[in-house]
Amino acid sequence: MRPQWPSNAACYYCDGMLRPSNSLLGSSRAARRASVRAERLKALGHAARGVRAMVNALVGGALQLALLWTLPFLYLAAAYLALDLPARWLWHRPAFGGWGVVLFSAALTLCLVGIARAIQHAEPVAPVRPKFARAMLGLSWVAALLLTIGDLAS
């Protein structure tokens, strides 16, 4: 006796069959091109973000290094100008012509920033202890006072 197959036996095989869900399988050339184009654009975006991060890191590092080397000298020059320019004006001596007021306001601003950072116990820009940085700021004011006295005495 031969087994009887149901008339819809082919449907049982169709229902159990899985279809691939990958977007590239069975797609058109236009869809593949669009997918490749999107992947290239995505890779270009990642490369641009990487280059931008690298440039930002280099510029930031260069700026920090420049501040590290110049800020102590700028604090000293600002302390000198903040003391010397008003003393020159009081003794009726020439004080850098028309630039004297601009130099004094810039020096006073920088001095106030340095003093405010020292009072707030902010971390110094240079890799030194905060106590040492405050001592150096105070010594720069003492040196500026001595230089101002020497300038007025001559």
pLDDT at 58 over 60: yes
pLDDT at 150 over 80: yes
For residues 148-153, give the mean pLDDT: 88
Q: Does 82 fall in a domain?
A: yes
Copy the structure tokens of residue 64.
Answer: 């920090």
Q: Does 104 fall in a domain?
A: yes
pLDDT at 47 over 70: yes
Q: Does 65 fall in a domain?
A: yes
| Average pLDDT of every residue of the chain | 82
Q: Does 19 fall in a domain?
A: no
Please indicate, yes or no, whether the overall pTM of this predicted structure exceeds 0.85.
no
Integer Cα distance of 140 and 84 in angstroms: 13
pLDDT on residue 131:
84
For residues 109-138, give the mean pLDDT: 84
Q: Which residue has the higher pLDDT, 85 or 96?
A: 85
Q: How far does Cα 105 stand from its chain's mean position?
A: 27
Q: Does 51 fall in a domain?
A: yes
Contacts of the segment 54-57: beta carbons below 8 A, 24+ positions apart: none
Integer Cα distance of 87 and 95 in angstroms: 9
pLDDT on residue 22:
59
Q: Which residues span the domain enclosing 42?
A: 29-153
Q: Does 115 fall in a domain?
A: yes
Q: Does 17 fall in a domain?
A: no
pLDDT on residue 116:
87
pLDDT at 10 over 60: no
Report how many domains make up the chain: 1
CA-nearest of 104, 119, 144 to 95 is: 104
